[in-house]
Amino acid sequence: MTEWKIRGPEIVTCNCNYGCPCQFNALPSEGNCRAAFGVRIDEGHFGSTRLDGLSLVALLAWPGAIHEGRGQCLPIIDERASPEQREALLTILSGQHSDPGATVFQVFASTLETVHEPIFKPITIEADVDGREGRIVVPGVLQATTEPIRNPVTGAAHRARLTLPQGFEYHTAEFASGTARATGPVPLDVKGRHAHLSELHMTGRGVVD
């Protein structure tokens, strides 16, 4: 197994209610799952190939709960990546060089029925994890934003975070309100739904403390 590491902010928004039952091994709010996942790699490598400064995005959809399978994915890779870096990012996303069950990439990949041809686009990912504010922009494909969940009476920012000591995606994430619209083979259209932000730090062995 090729050794790899990625470290940087992650933004995820989906069609579930705030909190996302999937985080607790429960069924999704709407009976199905549609999501946008993005990570900016501030520091990373795949073998000897450096990945610093690159980003990757995945648009994902399942007709039922994620663990029931039959999912589909559209990989979106930073157009600035060299051929070697593109191959490295797609390999990480495929879960091929992760221990079984150890990373979100391997777990999700095991549930996919269709992986669409990857596209290579400019990607902007900005994240203030503690502030729960972020955005993912892939021109012509995806626009996603997050903001703090608001108290419905006072409008004050509501802060909630989740700790998963044995998580395969993160150990701690800040929960937020997400809005996203994506076009193409895996469309997404959500407003005021679940989102979370975390500082991703992962290798093929799993999440690093």
Q: How many CB atoms lie under 10 A from the CB of residue 154?
A: 8
Residue 2, helix vs strand vs coil: coil
Tell me the pLDDT band of 15, cut-offs 50, 70 and 90: very high
Task: Say if residues 64 and 25 touch (Cβ distance below 8 Å).
Answer: no
- pLDDT tens digit sequence for 186-206: 999 999 999 999 999 999 999
What residues make up the domain containing 178?
4-207
Q: Quick one: how far is CA 71 from the chain centroid?
A: 15
How far is Cα 168 from Cα 183, in angstroms, rounded to an integer? 28
Q: What's the pLDDT score for residue 209?
A: 80
Mean pLDDT of the chain: 97
- When divided into structural domains, the chain yields a total of 1
Stated pTM of the model: 0.96
Tokens standing for residue 168: 């395969």
Average pLDDT of the residues in 14-32: 96
Spatial CB neighbours of 188, under 8 Å, sequence gap ≥ 6: 15, 34, 35, 36, 59, 61, 142, 180, 181, 182
Q: What's the pLDDT score for residue 3?
A: 98
Flag whether pLDDT at 176 surpasses 90: yes
